Amino acid sequence: MDSNAISGFVGKIWDEQIVPQLVDYIRIPNKSPMFDVDWAKHGYMDQAVALMETWARAQPIPGMQLEVVRLEGRTPLIFIDIPGQGDDCVLLYGHLDKQPEMTGWSEHLGPWKPVIEGDRLYGRGGADDGYAIFGSLAAIMALQAQKIPHSRCVVMIEACEESGSYDLPYYVDHLAKRIGKPSLIVCLDSGCGNYDQMWLTTSLRGMTGGNLTVKVLDEGVHSGDASGVVPSSFRILRQVLSRLEDENTGEIRPRELHAEIPAQRVEQARVSAEVLGDDVFSKFPMLEGMRPVSDDLTELVLNRTWRPALAITGIGGIPSLDSAGNVLRPFTAVKLSLRLPPTANAVKSGEFVKQLLESDPPYGATVTFNLEKAGSGWNAPTLAPWLEQSVDEASRTFFGPPPAYMGEGGSIPFMGMLGEKFPGAQFLITGVLGPHSNAHGPN
């Protein structure tokens, strides 16, 4: 393989074709179904599918077959089958649905407004995970340009990942015979600790979440009249959440939601912390004077990759500041996002959390936790020697330094599913979401 020719080929197709495609893709507000219940009516998902389908069909890949598969009542899926040598199969995965807009964008930026500044392309979805289909086909074409043989390749691009991939199992079953039995699964929906070497994702956290509501009244009442008599729904909410999370440390209290961390993952976290240094936390836009939850960098890596953690991502029942009167409100609701250890069972964890939050409500208040989604995490199998050697050579050839290995704090539900369906497969999980990429957030 001529590495210089590979770099030249890939650089040219990215600059001339892929970046312009990503610019157009960012303009499409194709939010995942959880964030746009009328996604089918709006048609944005179909626009994104059409953009990728049109580009892919125009590529000179011999024997490539492409189909947009549409199961009734489900988001579409792009399925590409590229012939290769031998009976082996490589499965390449990505998704095209997007997170919602979020607030806090810089004045000249926006979720559906692609802006190129230097070597950065801003906007929603480009790195998460719109580039996957383009990167996958570009890599295959780079090999074919040098007449390097490769295995049969199957590319699957789903449109439901940001909602928990609830449509994907149906497509995997529907397409099982056409997929075959892959020996290598490649996913480009992950991240990297820096941009100086190749990073492989060794694990992904699971997730469970939903809406927690505390109700104390049928309607709001005068706060001066009722306070001190009727307990505040917000205070009860705080009490209930304290069952789950220690508000002083952020630690998740129930041991049932924790898992043993393998010794190899602890050592990899230590090495990653040494490589990254303060970038472990400085990659986030923290305010001046803010500190991370620990001074131990290895512990920070383990916190975000192997330990459960709670985030409150939405709130209801509370008026905005400019319309807040002197009223004791009837209810308070919050959306919970609970990240789980890679080896935890997300369904069982969700049921446990529901029981924990709803049981014995303070003051007899009505406390309900409606689960919205649950996706188990994933812990990678040990790398086969051939794959470990290939990754090492690739990182040294195209970056210089050797590769690094680290778990990711986010979730890719499909990986856990594939790990169960193809227990003998090897996994190569990586991605371009590095420092300051701010996936799911603004800018």
CATH code where residue 56 lies? 3.40.630.10
Same domain for 169 and 80: yes
The angle formed by the CA atoms of residues 128, 407 and 443, to the nearest 5 degrees, is 30
* In a domain? residue 354: yes
Reading phi first (left if > 0) and then psi (alpha if -120 to 50, else beta), residue 424 is in: alpha
Distances (CA, A) of 262 to 52, 269, 330: 40, 11, 46
What global pTM score does this model have?
A: 0.86
Token readout for 247 is: 């508000």
In a domain, 276, yes or no: no
Assess if residue 389 is contained within a domain.
no
The whole domain housing 56 covers: 3-190+412-429
Say if residue 217 is in the same domain as residue 364: yes
Q: Are residues 152 and 14 in the same domain?
A: yes
Q: 10 and 87: one domain?
A: yes
In a domain, 358, yes or no: yes
> What string of pLDDT tens digits covers the 443 residues of the chain?
999 999 999 999 999 999 999 999 999 999 999 999 999 999 999 999 999 999 999 999 999 999 999 999 999 999 999 999 988 999 999 999 999 999 999 999 999 999 999 999 999 999 999 999 999 999 999 999 999 999 999 999 999 999 989 999 999 999 999 999 999 999 999 999 999 999 999 999 999 999 999 999 999 999 999 999 999 999 999 999 999 999 999 999 999 999 999 999 999 999 999 999 999 999 999 999 999 999 999 999 999 999 999 999 999 999 999 999 999 999 999 999 999 999 999 999 999 999 999 999 999 999 999 999 888 999 999 999 999 999 999 999 999 999 999 999 998 877 888 888 888 999 999 999 999 899 999 99
For residue 441, being part of any structural domain is answered with no
Say yes or no: 363 and 217 in one domain.
yes
> Residue 426 contacts by C-beta under 8 Å, 6 or more apart in sequence?
183, 184, 185, 381, 383, 384, 387
Give the CATH number, domain containing residue 337.
Answer: 3.30.70.360
- pLDDT score recorded for residue 411: 87
The 3-state secondary structure of the chain, one letter per residue: CCHHHHHHHHHHHHHHHHHHHHHHHHCCCCECHHHCCCHHHHCHHHHHHHHHHHHHHCCCCCCCEEEEECCCCCCCEEEEEECCCCCCEEEEEEECCECCCCCCCCCCCECCECEEECCEEECCCHHHHHCHHHHHHHHHHHHHHCCCCCCEEEEEEECCHHHCCCCHHHHHHHCHHHHCCCCEEEECCCECCCCCCCEEEEEECEEEEEEEEEECCCCCEEHHHHECCECCHHHHHHHHHHHHECCCCCCECCHHHCCCCCHHHHHHHHHHHHHHCCHHHHCCCCCCCCCCCCCCHHHHHHHHHCCCEEEEEEEECCCCHHHCCCEECCEEEEEEEEEECCCCCHHHHHHHHHHHHHCCCHHHCEEEEEEEEEECCEECCCCCHHHHHHHHHHHHHHCCCCCEEEEECCCCHHHHHHHHHCCCCEEEECCCECCCCCCCCCC
Contacts of 434 (CB under 8 A, 6+ apart): 191, 192, 193, 194, 195, 283
- State which amino acid sits at residue 200: L
Residue with tokens 């015979």: 177
Q: What is the model's pLDDT at position 195? A: 95
Co-location of 368 and 416 in the same domain: no
Position 315 in a domain: yes
Residues 88 and 41 in one domain: yes
40, 141: one domain: yes
103 shares its domain with 181 = yes
Number of domains observed in the structure of the chain: 2
| Same domain? 39 vs 161 | yes
What's the CA angle centered on 55, arms 145 and 183, to 5 degrees? Answer: 60
Q: Are 223 and 148 members of one domain?
A: no
Can the peptide bond before residue 129 be classed as cis, meaning omega within 30 degrees of 0? Answer: yes
Both 7 and 112 in one domain: the answer is: yes
Task: Tell me if 166 is assigned to some domain.
Answer: yes
Q: Is residue 393 part of a domain?
A: no
